[in-house]
Homo-oligomer: A and B are copies of this chain.
Amino acid sequence: MARINEHYLDLAAGYLFPEIGRRVTAFRQAEPQARILRLGVGDVALPLAPAVSEALQRAAAELATGDGFRGYGPERGYDFLIEAIRQHDYAARGTEIAADEIFISDGSKQDAGNLQEIFATACSVMVTDPVYPVYVDTNVMAGREIQYLPATEANGFAPGPPEDGARADLAYLCSPNNPTGGVLSRAALARWVAWARDCGAVLIFDAAYDAYISDPALPRSIYEVDGARECAIELRSFSKRAGFTGLRCAYCVVPSACTGRTAAGGEVSLRDLWARRQATKFNGVPYIVQRAAAAVFSPEGRQQTEAQIAYYMENARRLREGLRKAGFAVFGGEHAPYLWLRTPNADPSWDFFDRLLRQAQVVGTPGAGFGPAGEGYFRLSAFADRETVDEAITRIQRAFAHG
């Protein structure tokens, strides 16, 4: 008799975004004339940069030729992309990462969800709250217990490690943070690394938004902190950095020094386990997508994708200023494409969602959807065109400035 994985029954009822979709559809049916502005789902809005698009089309054309056709690629990624990452994202910033520590993937969501497979079911898991739901749900599916560490105004919505002696075997950190837009300083990251080494824990450091860090003093990679090679796995992505949400390319770094333990106390290389996992369950990212990703590192690609990020960050600046003028307490948006606002009168975040939709026809994301500590807060995304952002600000100011 085929028994199901009953841990699925422990999952929270539904994913956040389908519920938002349901409410927006209902509103649209009630008010078919309304022009809805979407600052909800964190999806990019600008088309592919020319350098990236040209590389993609060139690679697509290659596949139709006898000499240029490529079948199965290396499941860990093509050397041309791994080498570009090693050079530009690490060596150029003074961090040495070896080619065989870099694994190309089809998304940080996938990496964040799959990495837990190489750990024992008995491992305890810590996340900050509010949290990107994938960290929680994939561990619940595997039957693990989750500890939540609240992100609050006091800790800049980017908490350091627990100070009450709490321990865990795995901790997921997201910096710049989705959803709060908070960012971990070098000192806070160093405290996390010290905590992990003390616990024998592994940190899964999700830096999918690192390209949005505007202060050059802030670390972009956890490996800029001493000791991280021994305890941290890092995820980075082309999704938000270069508009790859629909193309799918990211990477994961598992340093050779990073180990886990067997029950008997033996040390095992996590890099080797991850390599085995990927060889067995993955077949690599399409060649054409890897060519497009490599073009992000060309001089034109860098300049064009940096201009896209500057465009989104100008959106974030306008939203921040505009919402403050409307009387909101606003956080984030300086090193991240997300604004985190306190709801007026500490209203429940789903109530505020409905009110914003009704009074300004603007869609955002209720903080409660990301975890209990998100209650009373609301996420707005800077991923939109300028006109939408400016119009949203005008409408919100009109609807809320006096209330």
Contact = CB atoms under 8 A, between A and B. Distances in A.
A71 B2 contact: no
A345 interface: no
Interface in A51-78: 53, 56-57, 60-61, 63-66, 68-73
Interface in A1-38: 1-6, 8-9, 11, 15
Given A53-B64, A60-B60, A3 B71 contact: no
A95 interface: no
A281 B113 contact: yes
B200 A277 contact: no
A73 B200 CA distance: 39
A3 B118 contact: no
A314 to B, nearest CB: 18
B41 A63 contact: no
Interface stretch (A173-181, A240-248, A393-401): A240-248
A279 interface: yes
A98 interface: no
A120 B245 contact: no
B283 A5 contact: no
Given A4-B118, A61-B57, A137 B248 contact: no
A306 interface: no
Contact of A138 (B48, B56, B281): B281
A329 interface: no
Interface stretch (A80-88, A261-269, A330-338): A261-269
Contacts of A119: 2-5
Q: How many copies does the complex hold?
A: 2
B61 A15 contact: no
Given A138-B280, A261-B2, A246 B120 contact: no
A38 to B, nearest CB: 11
A65 B47 contact: yes
Contacts of A261: 1-4
Contacts of A6: 120, 262-263
A67 to B, nearest CB: 9
A247 B283 contact: no
A107 interface: yes
A1 B200 contact: yes
A238 to B, nearest CB: 12
A286 B248 contact: yes
Interface string A102-144: 0000110110011001111111000000000110011001000
B2 A277 contact: no
Nearest to A273: B8
A62 to B, nearest CB: 9
A202 interface: yes
A52 to B, nearest CB: 8
Contacts of A263: 3, 6
A260 interface: yes
Contacts of A138: 280-281
A71 B43 contact: yes
Nearest to A282: B110
Nearest to A75: B109
B73 A246 contact: yes
Nearest to A287: B246
Contacts of A65: 47
Contacts of A48: 63-64, 69
Given A72-B41, A273-B4, A15 B60 contact: no
A-B interface, 5 closest residue pairs, ranked by CB to CB distance from nearest: A53-B64, A3-B120, A1-B200, A4-B260, A43-B71
